[in-house]
Amino acid sequence: MNADLERLFAADEEGRARLTAARAEAAGALDRARRNLEEERTARLSRLEAALEQELAGIRAEAEEAARARARRRAEFRQARRQASEALLPGAVEAFVRIVLEGPGKEA
């Protein structure tokens, strides 16, 4: 065989071997990049989920406080109405008794 041809075959084999090694290295780098990307996505998703949970907890706390405030105002209103009604009750009973005993239209 010709020496130049042997050198060409050897260079071709070397080139193919380097190409195969480079492909394997590139495939490994691609796999590592994919894993890193997936890890970053997972970490980001976890951070976002935690932030969302924290925000939802804040919203729930605000809603619960607003509900407690409404209940407190409602109880205060009912108490005020009850006190006003209780204050008027003796006069209403007196007027009712007077109307029943004396008839309507007569003043005391």
Which residue type does 93 have? V
Which residue type does 8 have? L
pLDDT above 90: percentage of residues in the chain = 74
Residues 85, 93: contact at Cβ < 8 Å?
no
Q: Which comes out higher in pLDDT, residue 5 or 87?
A: 87
Q: Where are the domains of the chain?
A: 1-81
102 CB burial (10 A radius; 0-12, 13-18, 19+):
exposed
Residue 108 has pLDDT above 60, yes or no: no
pLDDT above 70: percentage of residues in the chain = 95
